[in-house]
Amino acid sequence: MPIRTTTPRTTTPHATSPRTKNRASPLHKVRYAVRHPERVPRYLRRLARDLRLRLSTRDHIAYYRAVMRDDTARSPEAAVGSASHERWLALGKMQYDYLLWHGLRPDDRVLDIGCGNLRAGWRLIDYLDAGHYHGIDISPDILLAAQDVVVGRGLQAKLPHLSLVRDLRLAALPEAYFTVVHAHSVFSHSPREVIEECLAHVARVLAPGGYFDFTFNRTDGPEHHVLREDFYYRTDTLVRLAADHGLAARFMEDWEELPHRQSKIRVTHRAAHGEEAA
């Protein structure tokens, strides 16, 4: 396990701005529709798709896999949330740069949960030693698109591992192996039970001294979701969930300075924080 000289980036911690908007409330929806009438047809199309996929799938993972199939067929870059190729590049660079600022080294072993079509992954694969990048995803369609990115970027010799999973129990992965676990824009699309499953199993695969960073849609008001595609959580809920699974969690203030709507939490083994392991 490499010794980490973390956070060379100098930041001034600042109070994070409170977010209280409840996008699920009828009042918000009406106000939003009045302010953005041009977006109503798109919302109605999403609503219709949501109903159709809900009726034809058995659980959230099957539902979200179907959402990804639909979206990836249109555009893999849009399917992971980027409105243009430039945004796809910029969002991947933001994730990658942040990990570098926090001491990422070529010999780190990275698990990228919900790797999508390698928006950050291709940069990580390029930087890390061969075989040190593992991407997992529930969507076979986006994993095929990820392979296209590996080919397009000429990264075959870096031997990235790209695996399809049906859950986040991480059962096929080795114990105490990954020095960095990363999930960008995954819990923002996950109901609580999926997050809990991940937090219940991530400690097993996390190397001593390693960390797990995940982003989430933060709300400081009531927790809610929109069409079960976008979920909004309170920071204290996620910190508590991590603690329930014997993990220490902290809100990453320096991520808030970046131009990104989601917030970030870092989870470590409790022992790494000098606390008694549960």
Ligand X SMILES: C[S@@+](CC[C@H](N)C(=O)[O-])C[C@H]1O[C@@H](n2cnc3c(N)ncnc32)[C@H](O)[C@@H]1O
Q: Which residues bind ligand X (CB under 6 A)?
A: 61, 64, 68, 80-81, 113-116, 119-120, 136-139, 142, 165, 168, 184-186, 189-190, 194
**Is 116 or 210 the residue whose CB approaches ligand X more closely?**
116
CA–CA–CA angle 116, 180, 258 (5° rounding): 70
**Cα(258)–Cα(11) distance, rounded to whole angstroms?**
11
**Is 113 or 267 the residue whose CB approaches ligand X more closely?**
113
Structure tokens at 68: 């990804």
Smallest separation, CB 135 to ligand X (Å): 9
Smallest separation, CB 273 to ligand X (Å): 26
Smallest separation, CB 92 to ligand X (Å): 6
**Is 217 or 270 the residue whose CB approaches ligand X more closely?**
217
Tell me the three state secondary structure of residue 5: coil
**Cα(158)–Cα(139) distance, rounded to whole angstroms?**
22
CA–CA–CA angle 187, 191, 196 (5° rounding): 75
**Cα(46)–Cα(53) distance, rounded to whole angstroms?**
10
Smallest separation, CB 195 to ligand X (Å): 9
DSSP 129: P
Smallest separation, CB 26 to ligand X (Å): 26
**Cα(234)–Cα(222) distance, rounded to whole angstroms?**
8
Smallest separation, CB 188 to ligand X (Å): 7
**Is 24 or 144 the residue whose CB approaches ligand X more closely?**
144
CA–CA–CA angle 217, 194, 268 (5° rounding): 75
**Is 259 or 274 the residue whose CB approaches ligand X more closely?**
259
Under 8 Å between Cβ of 122 and 155: yes
Tell me the three state secondary structure of residue 200: helix
**Is 59 or 275 the residue whose CB approaches ligand X more closely?**
59
| Distances 113 to 50, 77, 164, 254, 269 between C-alpha atoms, Å | 24, 17, 11, 22, 18
